[in-house]
Amino acid sequence: MSGGHFDYAYQRVQTFTDDLESQLGTFDGETKEALAAIVLVARGAARLMKEAEWLYSGDTSEEIFLERVGTVLNGLEAEAVELQQKHGRDE
């Protein structure tokens, strides 16, 4: 496993996100939608944290870091649009 500079903090966020996602069925309606949005944001945060961890640990170059961050952010934007469409929300 790579990383370590920030003591793998991204893994705690990943675990939280997985746990929250597995319990989305506990609520309905707007509450469930809000929780799903939190899952989306937290998952993206964990991905970005991992990229920062790898950069600071010397496991990736700045160029690759910037490419990966761009990919994560573009993916989050697409997922957010999909989530809004699924729940009939405008931006």
Coil/strand/helix, residue 28 = coil
What pTM was computed for the model? 0.85
Q: At what angle do helices 62-86 and 29-56 cross, to 10 degrees?
A: 180
Output the pLDDT for position 18: 96
pLDDT tens, the chain, 91 aa long: 567 899 999 999 999 999 999 999 999 999 999 999 999 999 999 999 999 999 999 999 999 999 999 999 999 888 888 877 776 554 4
Q: At what angle do helices 29-56 and 9-22 cross, to 10 degrees?
A: 160
Q: How far apart are CA 2 and CA 14, in angstroms?
A: 16
Output the pLDDT for position 23: 96
